[in-house]
């Protein structure tokens, strides 16, 4: 056995009464529920205490410039000495894990880091410091991850939001932020979060989803992806619609890969999270108001400014307010092929929501004029849905064909038909063509994009 771990072989001396697990500052009746067992509870306490000691002992400015491996070497001896002095009984693997957790507190996000590093986790949902859920394959699971107390969780939250120049406190208790990898973060703290801080993290895949990968997981079929990719190349303006967690941003990222690399793209987001792969992408992000309530920059101002930046296409991460009016104006004045996402349950609902959002812009327009703007700007609506088994599907691809009287006309090209649920609870269904050929195929043909008639045959399996 190495010299480093010799001190773990002897039996530890009894801990002083004030250091015994049962006397740590957590109610005894809650110990099992909150931390599993007293040993885990003590390790969590010691980890937070040790993190504070490292902050006092080391030059943080120097540590911030070190790689993770160099940092590990620098503080490992300090950590091992602390474990020995406190008589914490750990084997070699547990000691190494304890050291990694300390490093996560220094350079990562503490208890969250292991969840962020787990590629099988899609969402992390923190309901106060004692309750952390994750989503795997569309299903929620409770984890054993805990924070020492509310102050510990708030410290991690402030580390997240401060990295993107935002803040969260009693005067500004809600914030949207992002992690360095683009993962989306929403935070709510007291007084609006009654029991304590609430954090929702929508993780981004380390390997961005391509349209081929979405085909591989069954989100859509090959003829559907060919049609959507052709529509993007052919500068067909598109809205991606769906509920929360249905995969709208993932689909937008995947489809944007079909934009030719010669075009200049401007992205506008509340919190930057799009992962476009083109060489010529300019990114704009909203700014919240400062402590005095000044300096806010909304999406609408960014859309207006984007029009002065010579974009070929404008991509709005999520359209949810008055910026819808300026987006439609852009699509109707030389920026065809622009895209956005919207929260709606059906393609028809997406059109209604757009109409309502244009009305939020305080523009004196008749209802029919608004609908005409929408019908001339938007050509394709891609509807996504998160099904009961957690899977995401493209449940409809619809084309906007114009106006008839005062109604916007829609025709569905492809749909997902649910047929039941199998013994494992998975949704059984099939993708089908409706038999309708989209009107925009004619314009795509002039751009060299052609589709066989069989791709729209309702009798031919996709």
Return d(Cα 177, Cα 186) in angstroms, integer.
6
Domains of the chain: 1-107 (no CATH), 109-205 (3.30.450.370), 211-456 (3.40.50.300)
H or E segment to which residue 349 belongs: helix 347-359
Q: Given this model, what pLDDT does residue 245 score?
A: 84
Q: Where are the alpha helices (DSSP H) in 4-163?
A: 28-35, 38-57, 60-64, 68-85, 92-107, 113-117, 150-162
Distance of CA 143 to the CA centre of its chain: 20
Cβ atoms 395, 385 nearer than 8 A: yes
Are the CB atoms for 238 and 252 separated by under 8 Å?
A: no
For 435, the 3-state DSSP assignment is coil
CA 287 from centroid of its chain's CA atoms: 18
Extract long-range pairs of 343-348: CB within 8 Å, 24+ residues apart. Answer: 343/241, 343/242, 343/243, 343/244, 343/318, 344/241, 344/242, 344/243, 344/383, 345/243, 346/241, 346/383, 346/396, 347/241, 347/381, 347/383, 347/396, 347/398, 347/410, 347/412, 348/410
In degrees, to the nearest 5, what angle opens at C-alpha 69 toward C-alphas 120 and 10? 90
Angle at 282 between CA 276 and CA 286, to 5 degrees: 100
Q: Identify the pLDDT of residue 24.
A: 34
Write the burial class of residue 296 (CB in 10 Å: 0-12 exposed, 13-18 middle, 19+ buried): exposed
End-to-end CA distance of the chain: 62
The pLDDT of residue 60? 55
Residue 195 pLDDT = 92
CB distance 174 to 192 below 8 Å: yes
Q: Which residue has the tokens 């929260």?
A: 343
Nearest of 404, 382, 384 to residue 393 by alpha carbon: 384
Q: Which residues contact 39 (CB under 8 A, 6 or more apart)?
A: 21
Residue 399's DSSP bridge partners are: 380, 411
What's the pLDDT at 352? 94
258: how many CB neighbours lie within 10 A of its CB?
15
Residue with tokens 């190494």: 96
Burial class of residue 245 in the structure, from the number of CB atoms within 10 Å of its CB (0-12 exposed, 13-18 middle, 19+ buried): middle
Rounded to an integer, what distance in angstroms lies between the CA atom of residue 273 and that of residue 180? 10
pLDDT of residue 31: 37
Alpha-carbon span 207 to 202, nearest angstrom: 15
State the pLDDT at residue 1.
42
Report the pLDDT value the prediction gives residue 451, as an integer from 0 to 100: 82
- Beta bridge pairs of residue 299: none
What pLDDT, on a 0 to 100 scale, did the predictor assign at position 144?
Answer: 83
pLDDT tens string, the chain, 462 residues long: the values are: 444 433 333 333 333 333 333 333 333 333 334 445 676 677 767 766 766 666 666 665 566 566 767 777 777 777 777 777 777 777 777 777 777 777 776 667 878 888 888 888 989 999 998 899 999 877 889 988 888 789 889 988 998 888 888 888 888 899 888 888 878 899 999 999 999 999 999 887 777 778 999 999 999 999 999 999 999 999 999 999 999 889 898 999 999 999 999 999 999 988 777 878 788 999 998 887 776 778 888 888 998 899 899 999 999 988 988 889 988 988 888 888 999 999 999 999 999 999 999 988 877 788 899 999 999 999 999 999 999 888 899 999 999 999 998 899 999 999 999 999 888 888 999 999 999 999 999 888 877 777 888 889 998 878
């Amino acid at each position: 056995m190495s010299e480093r771990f010799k001190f773990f072989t002897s039996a530890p001396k009894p801990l002083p009464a004030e250091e015994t697990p049962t006397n740590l500052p957590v109610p005894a009746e809650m110990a099992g529920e909150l931390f599993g067992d007293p040993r885990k509870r003590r390790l969590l306490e010691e980890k937070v205490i040790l993190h504070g000691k490292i902050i006092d002992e080391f030059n943080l400015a120097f540590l911030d410039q070190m790689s993770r491996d160099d940092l590990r070497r620098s503080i490992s001896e300090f950590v091992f000495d602390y474990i020995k002095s406190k008589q914490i009984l750990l084997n070699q693997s547990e000691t190494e894990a304890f050291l990694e957790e300390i490093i996560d507190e220094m350079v990562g996000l503490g208890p969250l880091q292991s969840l962020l590093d787990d590629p099988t986790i899609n969402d992390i949902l923190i309901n106060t410091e004692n309750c952390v859920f994750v989503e795997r394959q569309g299903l929620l699971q409770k984890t054993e991850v805990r924070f020492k107390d509310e102050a510990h969780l708030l410290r991690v939250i402030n580390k997240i939001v401060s990295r993107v120049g935002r803040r969260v406190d009693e005067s500004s208790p809600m914030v949207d932020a992002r992690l360095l990898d683009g993962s989306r973060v929403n935070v709510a703290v007291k007084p609006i979060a009654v029991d304590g801080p609430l954090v929702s993290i929508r993780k981004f895949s380390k390997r961005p989803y391509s349209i081929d990968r979405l085909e591989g997981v069954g989100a859509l079929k090959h003829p559907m992806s060919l049609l959507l990719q052709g529509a993007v190349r052919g500068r067909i303006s598109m809205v991606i619609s769906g509920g929360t967690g249905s995969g709208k941003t993932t689909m937008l990222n995947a489809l944007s890969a079909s934009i030719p690399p010669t075009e200049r793209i401007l992205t506008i987001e509340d919190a930057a999270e799009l992962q476009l792969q083109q060489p010529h992408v300019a990114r704009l992000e909203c700014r919240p108001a400062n402590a005095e309530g000044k300096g806010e920059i909304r999406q609408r101002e960014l859309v207006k400014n984007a029009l002065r930046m010579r974009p070929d296409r404008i991509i709005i991460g999520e359209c949810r307010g008055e910026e819808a009016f300026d987006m439609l104006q852009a699509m109707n004045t030389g920026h065809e092929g622009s895209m956005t996402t919207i929260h709606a349950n059906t393609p028809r609902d997406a059109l209604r929501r757009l109409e309502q959002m244009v009305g939020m812009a305080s523009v004196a327009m008749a209802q029919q004029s608004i609908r005409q703007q929408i019908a001339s700007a938007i050509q394709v609506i891609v509807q996504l849905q998160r099904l009961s088994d957690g899977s995401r599907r493209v449940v409809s691809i619809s084309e906007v064909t114009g106006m008839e009287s005062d109604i916007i006309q829609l025709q569905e090209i492809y749909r997902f038909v649910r047929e039941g649920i199998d013994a494992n609870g998975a949704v059984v269904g099939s993708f089908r063509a409706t038999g309708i050929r989209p009107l925009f195929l004619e314009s795509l043909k002039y751009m060299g994009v052609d589709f066989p008639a069989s791709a729209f045959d309702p009798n031919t399996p996709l």
